[in-house]
Amino acid sequence: MALRYGVVSGANPAAYNEPIAIGGGVTATFLPAGHVLGSAQILLEHAGERVIVTGDYKRRPDPTCPAFEVTPCDLLITEATFGLPVFRHPPIAEEIARLLATRIANPKRCILVGAYALGKAQRVIAELRAAGWHEPVYLHGAMEPMCRLYEEQGIPLGDLRAIASVQKSALAGAIVICPPSALNDRWSRRLPDPITAMASGWMRVRQRVRQRGVELPLIISDHADWDELTETITEVDPTETWITHGREEALLRWCQIHQRKARALALTGYEDEDE
């Protein structure tokens, strides 16, 4: 695999906004999706018709990846992971401020943040740096390879340290990033009275917070929320919208109310992720 200009591909990596002929008069162009480093929308063009497949995307600024590009098309195929009006994500600066305030209020405990290893962890770290946290951020072993890859691609993450060889006493007041699956794992017992936090758009749902045993839910998502999904459809202004990977029904209804042609495109094999 190769990574060039943020687009992950095979033996022949392509840059964003460079059309590629794929046969039959069809060209494909990668466009930034704003989801994570390497994510892309795909623009397919044939005989004057334009189709956009968004894949996963978000519209919020993210210091670790290029921003989503609004591109007019005839057919928009959009994700709808958070396609319900209840999902309106707060500004990430507010969630990071809550994390740091909790750390200040509990100087003898560490903050253990569960975050998806690709994209979410690096974004949380970058936003911590932007908020003025320049102390070391400690990493569960599973987080290290992807964080190092981001750094190799020119994304500065500051002082990152593997937690494996650090004494328990040295972690008081520290911020530790781990996979969500490690939050309540035996591994976490080596930390000094950790406060469990989790960075996910699903932290808007109280039942999910309780199921995870999370003390500090951080509503930080790498997907578009309800307002961003509807704004994207409005801005792209397609002739037709296909909705998939999420809550298709509510977004489909929104399209109908706003007299926009749309249909649900249900795919099998997709389940809710820690995103």
Q: With cut-offs at 50, 70 and 90, classify the pLDDT of residue 30.
A: very high
Would you state the pLDDT for residue 274? 60
Q: What is the pLDDT of residues 193-206, one digit of tens each?
A: 999 999 999 999 99
Which of 211, 148, 222 is closest to 183 using CA atoms? 211
Judge whether residue 251 has pLDDT over 90.
Answer: yes
Average pLDDT across the chain, whole number:
91
pTM as predicted: 0.90
pLDDT over 90, % of the chain: 84
117 has a pLDDT exceeding 60: yes
Residues 46-84 have pLDDT tens digits of 999 999 999 999 999 999 999 999 999 999 999 999 999
Residue ranges and CATH numbers for the domains of the chain are 2-86+223-264 (3.60.15.10), 92-218 (3.40.50)
Q: Work out the burial of residue 22: count CB atoms within 10 Å of its CB; fewer than 13 is exposed, 13-18 middle, 19 or more buried.
A: exposed
Residue 258 has, within 13 A of its CA and on its CB side, a CA count of 17
**pLDDT, tens digit, 9 for 90 and up, residues 201-221:** 999 999 999 998 999 999 999
DSSP string, 207-264: HHHHHHT-SEEE---SS--HHHHHHHHHHH--SEEEEEEE-HHHHHHHHHHTT-EEEE
